[in-house]
Structure 1
Amino acid sequence: MMLDIDIEADAEWDSSIDWTLLVRRAAESAVAESAFPQLAAGARPVELSVRLTSDEQVRALNAEWRGKDKPTNVLSFPLAEADDLGSSEGEGPELMLGDIVLARGVCEREAAEKAIPVETHAAHLLVHGTLHLLGYDHHDYDEAADMEGREVRALARLGIADPYEGGH
């Protein structure tokens, strides 16, 4: 899996954390728990873009693309079509899954509220965002339960406890 990771210096992400490794492990775990685990195995070249940025940048993107003028923790912009994902067996052109954008301030505040390390919460958001790029959503109960189960299993691969345990 090819990753394009942009960590914006002015967003002041904690430089003591290996964000590149965290992004890679979270994305690969999410793919492995999806209906398309062959993508993680390298059956086809796959690219994913991740930007770690400021709340202000995420607020601007959220306003432009979702009509919500406020920052949010993670945004996902899928590029691959469902047919492209299903045809991921064997050779083929590189598959661009899409873009994920995380807001530093929101991520840090939510981690503090949950009393967990910021990298743990960021990993959860990256898994969540990657699953969105793979076509998963949470618009109704069944979709939400399926996506949540995949998140929990992907996080377990990373040694991270179920973030939903005890309620939402």
Structure 2
Amino acid sequence: MIVDCLIEDDRWEPLGLDALAKAATRAVRARLGLPKGCEVALLACSDVRIAALNADFRGKPRPTNVLSWPSEERGAAAPGAMPALPSGASELGDIALAYETCAGEAEAAGRPFAAHVSHLIVHGTLHLLGFDHESDADAALMEGLEVEILDKMGLPNPYELEV
């Protein structure tokens, strides 16, 4: 998978986001059997920037952890069904991550920042591929894939609460 990272907020620099993004998207590609040559653009920004994007594109003027813009509609025909995955090299779309929100969530969950960001990149990439969590069946499919992909990457289940 080809990932074009644009780091707009310097606080992302120490994380090695480019390598994390490549590993996360490669893991998605491997699990779903996607063709080589699929492309993702990743914007690493601040809460202020993502709040503006969230307002512009979703009408929600507040920060969020991750946003995604698929290059085309790939949604499944029925709740819980697999979406139509690309059969050839294609631009999948764009993902944006907000530093403060991501860092705060990782800290609150007691998870390493890199693991949380890897999860959000997997999550965002799945959105680009037509997966969503609008219904319980869709959420079960998407979250199951996330857990499986992250496990293959050696990362913990992000939906499992620490006790």
Matched, 1:53 2:53: no
Match of 1:165 in 2: 160
**1:20 aligns to what?**
18
Partner-residue secondary structure (3-state), 1:69: coil
- For residues 13 and 28 of structure 1, the distance between their equivalents in structure 2, rounded to whole angstroms, comes to 24
Report the number of matched residues: 155
Q: Give the aligned partner of residue 80 of structure 2.
A: none
Unaligned runs of 5+ in 1: none
Matched ranges for 1:64-83 at <5 A: 64-82=56-74
The residue number in structure 2 matching 1:62 is 54
Question: Structure 2: which 5+ runs fail to align?
Answer: 76-83
Match of 1:38 in 2: 34
Kindly state the Cα deviation for residue 14 of structure 1 after the two structures are TM-superposed. 4.1
Describe how 1:147-158 pairs up with structure 2 within 5 A.
Answer: 147-158=142-153
Deviating above 6 A after TM superposition, structure 1's stretches of 4 or more consecutive aligned residues are none
Identity %: 41
TM-score, normalisation: structure 1: 0.85
Cα distance per residue 1:80-137 (max 9 Å; x no partner)? 3439x5451xxx5x41100000000000000010111111110010000000001000
SS of the residue corresponding to residue 62 of structure 1 reads helix
Cα contact 1:13–1:52 (8 A) shared by 2:
no
**After the TM superposition, which residues 73-112 of structure 1 pair with which residues of structure 2 at under 5 Å, given as runs?**
73-82=65-74, 86=85, 88=87, 94-112=89-107
Q: Secondary structure at the match of 2:34?
A: helix
Pair 162,31 (structure 1): closer, same or farther in 2 beyond 3 Å: same
**RMSD over aligned Cα, in angstroms?**
2.0
TM-score, length-normalised on structure 2? 0.87
The letter of the residue matching 2:100 is G
Residue matched to 2:129: 134
Question: Does the CA contact (< 8 Å) of 2:92 and 2:129 recur in 1?
Answer: yes
Q: Partner letter of residue 53 of structure 1? A: C
The residue identity in structure 2 corresponding to 1:131 is L
